[in-house]
Amino acid sequence: MSVEVPATRRTAAGAPSVATRARLLWPAAAIAATFALTFALRFPSFFEPRWYGDEGIFASIAASLRDGRMLYSGVWDNKPPLIFFTYAAIQAVAGVGERPLHIAATMSVLATQAALVAAAALLFGERARPAFGRAAVAGVVFALLMGSPLLEGNLALTETFMILPASLAALVFILGERHREAGASPRVLVVVGALIGIAAAYKQVAIFDGLAIAVMVRFRHERALRDLGALAAGFAVPQAALALLFLATGAFGAYWYAIVGSLGMYARLAPSIGVLRRVEELLPPLLVLGWLTYRHQRVGRLGLGWYSLAWLAFAFAGATSSTFGFPHYLQQTAPALALAAAGLPAPRVAAQELRAVAVVAVAAVFVVITVQAQFGHAFYARKQLSPHWYYAAFVHRQSGEESVSSYESHFDGSVPSLRALQTTIASDGAGDSAFYWSEAAWIYAQAGLRNPTRYYTSVLGTRVPGARAEIMRDLAARPPAYVAISRQAYRPFPQLESFVTQRYTLIAVRGNDWRLYRRAGARGTLPPGTVVR
Whose CA is closest to 105, among 328, 337, 408? 328
Cα dihedral sign for 220, 225, 230, 231?
Answer: positive
pLDDT over 90 percentage in the chain: 78
pLDDT at 21: 64
Other Cβ atoms within 10 Å of 235 Cβ, number:
26
Q: Same structural domain for residues 358 and 505?
A: no
Considering the entire predicted model, what is its pTM? 0.93
Domain stop point among 340, 362, 381: 381
CA distance 136 to 333: 18
Task: Determine, yes or no, domain membership for 386.
Answer: no
Q: Judge residue 40's burial from the number of C-beta atoms within 10 Å of its C-beta, 0-12 exposed, 13-18 middle, 19 or more buried.
A: exposed
Structural Rg of the chain based on CA atoms: 26
- In angstroms, what CA-CA distances link 418 with 9, 51, 163, 382? 64, 9, 31, 21
For residues 233-248, give the mean pLDDT: 98
For residue 519, list its beta bridge partners: 504
Q: Same structural domain for residues 313 and 418?
A: no
CA distance 320 to 324: 8
Pairing between strand 530-531 and 514-519?
A: unpaired
pLDDT at 361: 86
Query: What DSSP element (H or E) covers 485?
Result: strand 482-486
Other Cβ atoms within 10 Å of 215 Cβ, number:
23
For residues 183-188, give the mean pLDDT: 90
Q: Same structural domain for residues 194 and 338?
A: yes
φ and ψ of 450, to 5 deg: -95, 130
Q: In what order do the strands lie in the sheet with 504-510?
A: 434-437, 482-486, 514-519, 504-510, 530-531
Task: Determine, yes or no, domain membership for 475.
Answer: yes
For residues 8-24, give the mean pLDDT: 56
pLDDT at 23: 64
Task: Determine, yes or no, domain membership for 72.
Answer: no
Q: Tell me how many domains the chain contains.
A: 2
- The angle formed by the CA atoms of residues 185, 186 and 189, to the nearest 5 degrees, is 90
Q: Same structural domain for residues 161 and 41?
A: yes
Residue 456, SS3 per DSSP: coil
Task: Determine, yes or no, domain membership for 300.
Answer: yes
Contact 42, 109 (CB under 8 A): yes
Domain stop point among 381, 405, 427: 381
239 CB-side CA count, 13 A: 19
φ and ψ of 509, to 5 deg: -135, 135
Q: Same structural domain for residues 498 and 370?
A: no
Q: Whole domain around residue 485: which residue ranges?
A: 413-531
Q: Same structural domain for residues 268 and 127?
A: yes
List the single range of 147-161, 342-356, 368-382, 517-531 with lowest mean pLDDT. 342-356
Pairing between strand 514-519 and 482-486?
A: antiparallel
Task: Determine, yes or no, domain membership for 247.
Answer: yes
Q: Same structural domain for residues 258 and 377?
A: yes
Task: Determine, yes or no, domain membership for 261.
Answer: yes
Task: Determine, yes or no, domain membership for 376.
Answer: yes
Dihedral Cα 449, 452, 458, 462, nearest 10 deg: 180
Is the model more confident about 429 or about 28? Answer: 429
Other Cβ atoms within 10 Å of 442 Cβ, number:
30
Q: Same structural domain for residues 420 and 376?
A: no
**Does pLDDT of 1 surpass 50?**
no
What residues contact 396, with CB distance under 8 A and at least 6 apart?
A: 402, 407
What residues contact 122, with CB distance under 8 A and at least 6 apart?
A: 130, 171, 174, 175, 178
Other Cβ atoms within 10 Å of 168 Cβ, number:
23
Q: Same structural domain for residues 371 and 470?
A: no
pLDDT tens for residues 304-343? 999 999 999 999 999 999 999 999 999 999 999 999 999 8
pLDDT tens for residues 106-131? 999 999 999 999 999 999 987 667 88
Please, which pLDDT band fits residue 383 given cuts at 50, 70 and 90? confident
**Does pLDDT of 442 surpass 70?**
yes
Residue 507, SS3 per DSSP: strand
Q: Same structural domain for residues 358 and 418?
A: no
pLDDT at 380: 85
Please, which pLDDT band fits residue 275 given cuts at 50, 70 and 90? confident
Please, which pLDDT band fits residue 356 given cuts at 50, 70 and 90? confident
Other Cβ atoms within 10 Å of 148 Cβ, number:
20
**Does pLDDT of 372 surpass 50?**
yes
Distance of CA 231 to the CA centre of its chain: 23
For residue 504, list its beta bridge partners: 519
Q: Same structural domain for residues 314 and 195?
A: yes
Helices vs strands, H then E, count in the chain: 22, 5
Task: Determine, yes or no, domain membership for 136.
Answer: yes
Please, which pLDDT band fits residue 438 given cuts at 50, 70 and 90? very high
- The angle formed by the CA atoms of residues 510, 516 and 521, to the nearest 5 degrees, is 145
Dihedral Cα 237, 240, 245, 250, nearest 10 deg: 180
What residues contact 248, with CB distance under 8 A and at least 6 apart?
A: none
Q: Same structural domain for residues 254 and 308?
A: yes
CA distance 435 to 481: 9
Domain stop point among 328, 361, 381: 381
List the single range of 36-40, 283-287, 350-354, 482-486 with lowest mean pLDDT. 350-354
HEC profile of 469-497 = HHHHHHHHHCCCCEEEEECCCCCCCHHHH
